[in-house]
Chains A and B, each alone.
Chain A
Amino acid sequence: MRRLPVYLLLDTSGSMRGEPIESVRAGLRAMVDSLRQDPLALDSVHLSIITFYAYVKVLVPLTPVEQFLVPELVPPDSGPTHLGRALKDVCRQVDREVQKSNASVKGDWRPILFIMTDGAASDKQAFEEAIEEVRRRKFGVVIACAAGAKAKPDELRRLTDRVYTLETMDSTSFESLFRWVSSSIEVNSSSIGVTSEVILPPPPVDVNPVL
């Protein structure tokens, strides 16, 4: 069986406290539900959730979607957004968890990385270094979502050309965001990675591509 590893890197900095973080959790639940309704995803998708604010936490290591339980997300009162450090930790997890092919092991599909942040990276130097690290991991696709008014889509553009903005941070928007992420995952779980061009389904109305 070939696994499709999906890493969700979620900003849980202080500004996410309250409704936004609860909405993210509701969105995650909707995403997992929809993945479980897709027979291909149910067989292949493995999810990991990594959260970051000042510190990075591997909240859920790579877990088959059928065993996945949506975790609690607890943002601190305040603090910096260490996106660079978080990306480096994602790379470390990928090195540790994603299986490459060899004669005796069937390799995984190329991993998918989804990043959601509502601020700008406060560790500029680490972020610079992380851009190159992420590039070297050869993700199947990297999708970045800048949520709310304070997010910096231009910064995310340096990581990937698939950057989207989410203007409102209520549960409806997050739910449609995560449903779209899950349909993007489903598309990828059935496509073969010969070409680097991954086609994503059109995003919902609340989610706007940054061109």
Chain B
Amino acid sequence: MEVIIKARLEKLNGVSGTDDHFELSAVRVIVGTESRTSQNMVQISGDGVKGKHAELIHEGEFWRFHPLEGAESWVNDKPVAARDIRLKDRDVLAFGNRTQRYRFCLHSTESRSLPNGNEGKLYRETVSASTLFGSVAPLGYFDLKDNCGTGLQMTYSGDQLTFEGILVGSGQKQLIVEVCHPAQEIEDSSGGRRTKPEIRRDKPISLFVNPDPRALWKEIEPADGLPFRTPHTLALRVEAKDHLIIAASRRGRSHAHDGTFREDDVKVVHDSSSGWSVMIVSDGAGSAKYSRQGSRLVCETAGRTILPALVAVEADGSFEKNCERYFNNDRAESLRSLQSALYRTLAPAAKTAQRAIAEEAGRIEGASENDFAATVLLTIVRRYAFGTFVATFGIGDGGVGIYCDGSDDGNAHETIVLNVPDGGAYAGQTRFITSRDVWVSGDEILRRIRFDIVGRFTAVLSMTDGVSDPKFQTDDNFRDSSYWSGLWEELRTEIDFNGEKPEQQLLEWLNFWSRGNHDDRTLAILMPR
């Protein structure tokens, strides 16, 4: 195993820089007239450096310094003539060019610390004893006298110590290693020989063990008296003639830990007379204090207003005809008609939800619309004889896709993504139904409407970022069917869609562990049957 030596050169004059920290056991130094940007600065680089000025090579307890031919160098302000100079910690070395000298102080940042470990995880680190303890040569044997209850064991080979084991407990630990310098024959001042006895010393080594994050999460009930109380979980099922919709929403660990409410919400509706199904998922903004009420208003209001609008649009049969034309690639007229119909149904439903939020904000003293900020993913589905129509209107993150699994018939998996998330440069930056710029123009609204018509499909899935972040990570992956098939595989392993309560199994599944992803999670699934 390669030993990484951490050290740094402290620049004593010249321009301040950030290039003076390195983690290599061999370092080449150039004095930079090499590149325009470095402007007489000293650059340090591990490899690929032309125009070398000097080399620093770490050997056990010291650094070997090789000035290269023709280069001017100084150690502790004395000019260096020979090669192969031993440098100790805190020696000052200097590199020069025609006009200036650059002075550095050598610090090894090694300390008697092992790299941090994690509770319950396998730990295996090999370090050199001379790095850990400074000068200990000549070396005899080493013994881990006290592992401080960490469960670690130590083996050694030469001066390489290996600490290994499944870590028990957490926090700052101090291990004690006994270092033995064996007896040796030495020459004394009178020229005779004598035996220097064996020396044993106990050396402390510190090790920090991070606690198991799973054990740190707390489950705290929100304080009494807070308004807009929300149950921590929600599971829904709607059975239609030719399809099933299940949905579940679960308070995230981060909210449970802080004793705050779930801010996601979900609503699924089916109208058996018209055949339309609707799924709405909404994610209340973490920084908005009443966002749980915002997401609830989004789901309730949009869920209530969308159905009558869809029934009206379907009334004269032209919508179905246009769908069929579009599906059969006769798109010249049908695309425009369908877009127009969707603009007249989806946008008003979302706009009504936004108005409901504005009214609610008006009723509460000191509250503004932004206190109710929430995303919306509104999905409508209608199954026809020729295929299934799916349309979405989305503001914010999370996503909707139509997934077609190919594993049973040997085809490729396919996914049609129906939502382009609103993201910013940094995490957590997105748009909400309350954002002014969403509603500025017809084009901006139209941009948020997507639809497709598919023949065969496995499921339509709509989710908040609490699910899409851990399962897809990036927007590119969200367009990648292999991620969708991975997700579907998990779901169908955990959920018996023909069983008694698949929505409860979905709710259980939402509890999955994913490092760093502890937001509220909501997923709605529509599948044919």
B16 lies within 8 A of A82 (CB): yes
Give chain A residues whose Cβ lies under 8 Å from the Cβ of B10: 57
B86 to chain A, nearest CB (A): 23
Q: Does B474 contact A (CB under 8 A)?
A: yes
Listed A/B pairs (17) with beta-carbon separation below 8 Å: A1-B516, A36-B210, A39-B216, A39-B217, A39-B253, A42-B213, A43-B213, A43-B515, A43-B516, A66-B116, A103-B475, A106-B473, A109-B427, A140-B426, A191-B286, A194-B287, A194-B428
* Closest chain A CB from B44 CB (angstroms): 13
CA distance A105 to B20 in the complex (A): 29
- Provide the B271-288 mask, 1 if CB < 8 A to any CB of A, else 0: 000000000000001111
A41-100 interface with B by 8 A CB criterion? 42-44, 52, 54-59, 61, 66-69, 71-72, 74, 82, 85, 89, 92-93, 100
Q: Assess whether B20 is in contact with A192, with CB atoms less than 8 Å apart.
A: no
The answer on a CB contact under 8 Å between A108 and B427 is yes
Q: CA A46 – CA B288 in complex, angstroms?
A: 25
User: Is B515 touching A1 in the complex (CB atoms < 8 A)?
Assistant: yes
User: Which residues of chain A have C-beta atoms less than 8 A from B476's C-beta?
Assistant: 103-104
Interface residue from B111, B216, B287 paired with A42 (Cβ < 8 Å): B216
In the complex, residue of chain B having the shortest beta-carbon distance to the beta carbon of A55: B16
Of B10, B11, B427, B432, most buried by chain A (CB within 10 Å of CB) is B427
Given contacts A39-B257, A194-B430, are A101 and B16 in contact (CB under 8 A)? no
For A138, the chain B residues whose CB sits under 8 A away are: 426
Bound form: Cα–Cα A101–B474 in Å: 9
Q: Looking at the complex, which one of B214, B288, B423 makes contact with A101 (CB distance below 8 Å)?
A: B423
User: Shortest Cβ distance from A158 into chain B, in angstroms?
Assistant: 22
| Chain A residues packing against B (C-beta within 8 Å) | 1-2, 33, 36-40, 42-44, 52, 54-59, 61, 66-69, 71-72, 74, 82, 85, 89, 92-93, 100-101, 103-110, 138, 140, 190-195, 197
Are A107 and B515 in touch, CB under 8 angstroms?
Answer: no
Which residues of the partner chain B approach A57 to less than 8 Å between Cβ atoms? 8, 10-11, 16, 18, 20-21
A39-B253, A42-B211, A85-B16 are known contacts. Are A194 and B285 too (CB-CB below 8 A)?
yes
Q: Is the interface of A mostly helix, strand, loop or mixed?
A: loop
Residue B258 is within 8 A (CB to CB) of chain A in the complex: yes
Q: A43-B515, A107-B423, A193-B429 are in contact. List 8 more A-B contacts (CB 8 A).
A: A2-B516, A42-B213, A42-B216, A56-B17, A59-B21, A101-B427, A194-B429, A194-B430
Looking at the complex, which one of A40, A85, A109, A195 makes contact with B518 (CB distance below 8 Å)?
A40
B172 / chain A contacts, CB cutoff of 8 Å: 33
A25 to chain B, nearest CB (A): 12
Chain A residue numbers with a CB within 8 Å of B210 are 36, 42, 66
What separation, in Å, do the CA atoms of A69 and B207 have in the docked complex?
Answer: 10
- Nearest chain-A residue to B218 (Cβ)? A39
A103 partner residues in chain B, CB cutoff 8 A: 474-476
Min CB distance, B421 to chain A, in Å? 10
Q: Which A residues are in CB contact (< 8 Å) with B370?
A: 194-195
CA A106 – CA B478 in complex, angstroms? 12
Within 8 A of A (CB), among B323-378: 370, 373
The CA of A61 and the CA of B18, in the complex, are separated in Å by: 9
* Cα distance A104–B480 in the bound complex, in angstroms: 11
Q: What is the chain A residue whose CB lies nearest that of B253?
A: A39
User: Which B residue sits closest to A110, measured CB to CB?
Assistant: B426
Distance, CA A66 to CA B211, complexed state (A): 9
B260-296: contact bitstring with A at CB < 8 Å (1 yes, 0 no)?
0000000000000000000000000111100000000
B18 touches A55 (CB 8 A): no
Q: A60: nearest residue on chain B (CB-CB)?
A: B21
In the complex, which of the residues A52, A55, A93, A100 contacts B426, with contact meaning CB atoms closer than 8 Å?
A100
Q: Does B486 contact A (CB under 8 A)?
A: no
Instruction: Assess the B116–A69 pair: CB atoms within 8 A.
Output: yes
Give the chain A neighbours of B213 by CB distance below 8 A.
Answer: 39, 42-43
Report the Cα distance A132→B405, complex, angstroms. Answer: 53
Q: Which of A2, A39, A71, A107 has most B Cβ within 10 Å?
A: A39
Q: Mark B132-146, 1 if CB is under 8 A from A, else 0.
A: 000000000000000
| B322 adjacent to chain A (CB < 8 Å) | no
Neighbour of A58 across the interface among B18, B116, B118, CB < 8 A:
B18
A60 to chain B, nearest CB (A): 9
When distances are taken between beta carbons in the complex, the residues of chain A under 8 Å from B425 are 100-101, 107
* Interface residue B55 (Cβ < 8 Å from any Cβ of A): no
The residue in chain B whose Cβ has the minimal distance to the Cβ of A193 is B428
Q: Identify which of A2, A55, A69 contacts B427 (C-beta below 8 A).
A: A2
Choose among B16, B373, B423 the residue that contacts A56 (Cβ–Cβ < 8 A). Answer: B16
Q: Is the CB of B118 within 8 A of A66?
A: yes
B153 interfacial contact with A, CB 8 Å:
no
Contact residues, B459-480 vs A (CB, 8 A): 469, 473-476
Q: How far is the CB of A56 from chain B (nearest CB, A)?
A: 4
Identify the 10 closest CB pairs spanning chains A and B, nearest first. Answer: A1-B516, A192-B286, A39-B216, A192-B428, A56-B16, A43-B516, A2-B427, A100-B425, A55-B16, A39-B213
CA gap between A93 and B257 in the complex, in Å: 32
Question: Does B109 reach chain A (CB closer than 8 Å)?
Answer: yes
In the complex with contacts A56-B18, A61-B21, A193-B516 CB distance below 8 A: no
Q: Select one of A40, A67, A69, A74 contacting B254, CB under 8 A.
A: A40
- Complex: A54 Cα to B469 Cα, angstroms: 44
Q: What residue of chain A has the Cβ atom nearest to residue B255's Cβ?
A: A190
Known A-B contacts A66-B116, A67-B115, A71-B109; the reply to A193 vs B426 at CB < 8 A is yes
Contact A69 B113, beta carbon cutoff 8 Å = yes
Q: Which of B16, B286, B373 interacts with A89 by CB under 8 Å?
A: B16
Q: Contacts A103-B474, A106-B474: A36 and B427 contacting too (C-beta < 8 A)? A: no
- A89 in contact with B116 given A66-B210, A106-B427 (CB within 8 Å): no
Bound complex: CA A42 to CA B214 (Å): 11
> Counting CB contacts under 8 A, is B504 at the interface?
no
Contacts of A54 in B (CB 8 A): 16
Which residues from B are CB-within-8-Å of A109? Answer: 426-428
Residue numbers in B under 8 Å from A190 (CB-CB): 254, 257-258, 286
A37 touches B216 (CB 8 A): yes
Does A101 lie within 8 Å of B426, measured CB to CB? yes
> B366 to chain A: closest CB distance in Å?
14
CA distance A40 to B286 in the complex (A): 14
Q: B428 contacts which chain A residues (CB < 8 A)? A: 2, 109-110, 192-194
Q: Contacts of B8 on A, CB cut-off 8 Å?
A: 57
Q: How far is the CB of A188 from chain B (nearest CB, A)?
A: 10
B215 and chain A: residue at smallest CB distance = A39
* B77-114 near A? 1/0 per residue, CB < 8 Å: 00000000000000000000000000000010101010
Query: A-facing mask of B1-41, CB < 8 A → 1, else 0?
Result: 00000001011000011101100000000000000000000
